[in-house]
């Protein structure tokens, strides 16, 4: 165990991958000289040099697509997109090439690309730097979508993502960069399963990324009121690990999904649909969810806070599910 | 005017142009019969570009092409039967029938599509070239696109990236003067494409794309420059599409006299006349080449006709790479 932050854990993962495989390189806007917009790659330029810590022009479309090309050419690129909103400039190569190429080419070409980007709100960055679009990207077959919410995942998801022969998008939670804790270096990290982060018996709180900490805080508060909440961390948003989610829900018989994405057409909707499809008769209450308000994320602190899922809202929804209001 | 090629090579150039022409004429007929569906974009009239340019590449070089790529795939070495079967949607096709006319891929010849997002292949080529550069190789990545693609951000971003990082990309711009139905002057303020590209510090040259010999010479010079400098080169081939954009195009945007004028410069007719005049070919020799092309086309059609549909059970195969066991 060592004391560290989410940011440093991410950097540790990067450093280990770069040291371990000469095909791995990092490219993106300001990853080198600047040290990374959020200082994740700080110091890596000195350690690994300009060829492998590669500052790019402001050309999201081209450098994401170039990452695909480099992956096809035998490298193992890690492309950093500064913020999830900017990846919209690169949706074409992500969807039309990276996600489609293997199937479209009849199995001839896999794309072993990793794209890292910052997601989520909570830092007063307003409507062009704060959205949670990972659920939206999780709509696309051919991609794998990861949402590290713990220090272990922040450090450990990168290497298996690089080992994966297919394109993996890794969403780092902007609000977590400064979160400090004990990193368990011995924990095995996979990129295929959801994890139960807290055991409970009365209901399942299903969360990921920026809502995991809030769900855990809500569970703690609920415990004070005699309610035992289990917390499931989805971790992998595509492909979803139905088995872990359903095992929890079958045990608690109640499900509350907590998702920082917008409600309509959300990942929360997908998770709820799967629960209803597969465990309808085992439920004691209709599944419920807490999502972000359906507005572009506003700047003012009180408005931003009102937009996002918060602990009191999660607690209230959990109690509602148990008929305890 | 360039010096004549060695006789055998001259015949190769003519043979390949004929192979493309006859393949596509037959494909158009088969489209009429309903054997080929979807979009079918014919290259007829532009054959000198693919043939002259691709014969300037070495075997290990990579090619990225557009959705008008039957000719490029064929010249690069893909069997005509695999191309035809792909257009028939058969699993004996190069992409098992998942791609169709617009998405021909071939790992064996490093043929990376078959890209049907205009400009989408250009940053992909830059990425392949980045991998080549980082691995210390000397292979060239030839990227074909139309003049219409130069209006895309992907082109501007990629030209900058290739020049900035000195990537071994050969940008092959097939200027047929119409982006689907929109004339160059109606869509781009700067119609001097070499001047536009030179602003990115990519050395550029223009050549008559109806003259296979000139195309070959210019491309060979450009390829040598890429290999010598390690950096990119741009070649504009001025050419003309004799047929409609696709099978759904009534050609309201250009007048018949213009098409007829260009047809006077048919690259196959002019080149065979030149070879006859130069004594490199005689009428029986030409007839033999024609017969050879016709036989190859009929064999390809027979191969496609005998092809089988991929079982629907395999529909989801290759969305992701199968796990190694």
DSSP state of B185: H
| E strand map for chain B | 62-65, 111-114, 141-146, 169-175, 178-179, 182-183, 204-208, 233-238
A96 contacts B120? CB cut-off 8 A: yes
End-to-end CA distance of chain A: give it in Å, rounded. 41
d(CA A70, CA A23): 10
Provide the shortest C-alpha distance from residue A29 to chain B (in Å).
13
pLDDT band at B2 (very low <50, low <70, confident <90, very high): low
Q: Which residue bears the tokens 């193992």?
A: A76
Render pLDDT for A212-256 as a digit per residue (tens, 0 to 9): 999 999 999 999 999 999 999 999 999 999 999 999 999 999 999
d(CA A1, CA B191): 63
* Best residue of B97, B99, B127 to probe chain A, by most A CBs closer than 10 Å: B127
pTM: 0.96
Name chain B contacts of A96, Cβ cutoff 8 Å: 117, 120
B125 contacts A61? CB cut-off 8 A: no
* Best residue of B105, B120, B130, B155 to probe chain A, by most A CBs closer than 10 Å: B130
Decide: helix, strand or coil at residue A76: strand
Say whether pLDDT at B152 is over 80.
yes
Partners of residue B144 on adjacent β-strands? B172
Domain assignment of residue B270, given as a range: 7-304
B127 contacts A68? CB cut-off 8 A: yes
**Is A247 part of the contact surface with chain B (CB cutoff 8 Å)?**
no
Question: Looking at the domain assignment, is residue B41 inside a domain?
Answer: yes
B319 contacts A107? CB cut-off 8 A: no
Domain with CATH 3.40.50.970 in chain A: 2-183
A159, A9 contact by CB (below 8 A):
no
Count CB neighbours of B1 within 10 A. Answer: 8
pLDDT band at B3 (very low <50, low <70, confident <90, very high): low
Question: Looking at the domain assignment, is residue B321 inside a domain?
Answer: no
> From 3.90.550.10, 3.40.630.30, 3.90.1150.110, 3.40.50.970, which CATH number describes the A2-183 domain?
3.40.50.970
Question: Looking at the domain assignment, is residue B161 inside a domain?
Answer: yes
Q: What is the pLDDT of residue A324?
A: 86
Decide: helix, strand or coil at residue B296: helix
Render pLDDT for B186-218 as a digit per residue (tens, 0 to 9): 999 999 999 999 999 999 999 999 999 999 999
Average pLDDT over residues B257-263: 96
**Is A298 part of the contact surface with chain B (CB cutoff 8 Å)?**
no
pLDDT band at A44 (very low <50, low <70, confident <90, very high): very high
Q: DSSP letters along B66-117, please?
A: -SS-HHHHHHTT--HHHHHHHHTT-TTSTTTTSS-TT---BTTTTEEEE--S
Average pLDDT over residues B157-162: 98
Number of domains, chain B? 1
CATH of the domain at B20: 3.40.50.970
pLDDT band at A48 (very low <50, low <70, confident <90, very high): very high
User: How many beta-carbon contacts under 8 Å exist across A and B?
Assistant: 139
**Is A59 part of the contact surface with chain B (CB cutoff 8 Å)?**
yes
ipTM metric: 0.96
State both tokens at A148. Answer: 């590290």
Assign a CATH topology to domain A195-321: Rossmann fold (3.40.50)
A69 contacts B96? CB cut-off 8 A: no
Question: Which residues, 6 or more positions from B45, have their beta carbon under 8 angstroms from its beta carbon?
Answer: B176, B239, B240, B241, B242, B243, B262, B263, B266, B267
**Is A62 part of the contact surface with chain B (CB cutoff 8 Å)?**
yes
Question: Looking at the domain assignment, is residue B319 inside a domain?
Answer: no
Render pLDDT for A65-86 as a digit per residue (tens, 0 to 9): 999 999 999 999 999 999 999 9
Helix or strand holding residue A288 (H, E):
strand A288-292
Name chain A contacts of B105, Cβ cutoff 8 Å: 104-106, 108-109
Domain with CATH 3.40.50.920 in chain A: 195-321
* Best residue of B60, B98, B123 to probe chain A, by most A CBs closer than 10 Å: B123
Residue in B97, B114, B135 nearest the CB of A74: B135
d(CA B221, CA B208): 15
d(CA B224, CA B203): 13
């Amino acid at each position: 165990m060592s004391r560290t932050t989410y940011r440093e854990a991410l950097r540790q993962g990067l450093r280990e991958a770069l040291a371990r495989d000469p095909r791995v390189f990092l490219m993106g806007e300001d990853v080198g000289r600047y040290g990374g917009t959020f200082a994740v790659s700080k110091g890596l330029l000195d350690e690994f040099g300009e060829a492998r810590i590669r500052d790019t022009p402001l050309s999201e479309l081209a450098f994401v697509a170039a990452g695909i090309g480099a992956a096809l050419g035998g490298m193992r690129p890690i492309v950093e997109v500064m913020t999830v909103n900017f990846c919209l400039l690169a949706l074409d190569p992500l969807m039309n090439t990276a996600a489609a190429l293997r199937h479209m080419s009849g199995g001839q070409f896999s794309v072993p690309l990793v794209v890292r980007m910052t997601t989520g709100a909570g830092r007063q960055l307003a409507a062009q730097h704060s959205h949670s679009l990972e659920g939206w990207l999780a709509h696309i077959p051919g991609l794998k979508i990861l949402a590290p919410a713990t220090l272990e995942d922040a450090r450990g998801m990168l290497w298996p993502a690089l080992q994966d022969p297919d394109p993996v998008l890794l969403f780092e939670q902007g609000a977590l960069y400064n979160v400090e804790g004990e990193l368990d270096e011995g924990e095995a990290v996979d990129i295929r399963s959801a994890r139960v982060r807290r055991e409970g018996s009365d209901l399942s709180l299903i969360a990921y990324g920026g809502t995991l900490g809030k769900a855990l805080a809500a569970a703690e508060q609920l415990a004070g009121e005699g309610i035992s909440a289990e917390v499931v961390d989805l971790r992998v948003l595509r492909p979803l690990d139905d088995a872990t989610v359903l095992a929890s829900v079958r045990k608690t018989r109640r499900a509350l999904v907590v998702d920082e994405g917008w409600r309509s057409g959300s990942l929360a909707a997908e998770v709820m649909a799967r629960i209803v499809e597969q465990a309808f008769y085992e439920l004691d209450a209709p599944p419920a969810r807490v999502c972000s308000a359906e507005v572009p994320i506003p700047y003012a602190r009180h408005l931003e806070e009102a937009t996002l899922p918060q602990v009191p809202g999660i607690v209230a929804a959990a109690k509602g599910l148990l008929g305890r209001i | 005017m360039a010096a004549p090629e060695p006789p055998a090579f001259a015949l190769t150039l003519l043979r390949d142009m004929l192979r493309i022409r006859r393949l596509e004429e037959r494909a158009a007929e088969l489209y009429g019969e309903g054997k080929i569906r979807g979009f079918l974009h014919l290259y007829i009239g532009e054959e000198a570009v693919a043939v002259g340019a691709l014969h300037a590449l070495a075997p290990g070089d990579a090619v990225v092409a557009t959705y008008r790529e039957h000719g490029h795939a064929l010249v690069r070495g893909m069997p005509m039967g695999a191309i035809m079967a792909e257009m028939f949607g058969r699993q004996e096709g190069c992409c098992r029938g998942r791609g169709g006319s617009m998405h021909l891929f071939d790992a064996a010849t490093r043929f990376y599509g078959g890209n049907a997002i205009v400009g989408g292949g250009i940053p992909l080529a830059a990425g392949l070239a980045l991998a080549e550069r980082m691995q210390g190789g000397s292979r060239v990545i030839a990227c074909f696109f139309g003049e219409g693609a130069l209006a895309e951000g992907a082109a501007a971003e990629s030209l900058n990236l290739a020049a900035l990082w000195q990537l071994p990309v050969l940008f092959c711009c097939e200027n047929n003067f119409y982006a689907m139905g929109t004339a160059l002057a109606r869509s781009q303020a700067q119609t001097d494409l070499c001047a536009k590209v030179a602003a990115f510090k990519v050395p550029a040259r223009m050549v008559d794309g109806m003259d296979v010999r000139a195309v070959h010479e210019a491309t060979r010079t450009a390829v040598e420059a890429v290999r010598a400098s390690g950096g990119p080169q741009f070649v504009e081939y001025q050419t003309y599409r004799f047929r409609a954009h696709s099978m759904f195009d009534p050609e309201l945007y250009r007048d018949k006299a213009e098409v007829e004028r260009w047809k006077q410069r048919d690259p196959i007719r002019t080149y065979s006349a030149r070879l006859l005049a130069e004594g490199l070919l005689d009428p029986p020799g030409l007839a033999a080449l024609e017969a050879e092309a016709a036989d190859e086309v009929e064999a390809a059609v027979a191969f496609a006709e005998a092809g089988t549909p991929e079982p629907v059970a395999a529909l989801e195969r290759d969305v992701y790479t199968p796990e190694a066991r």
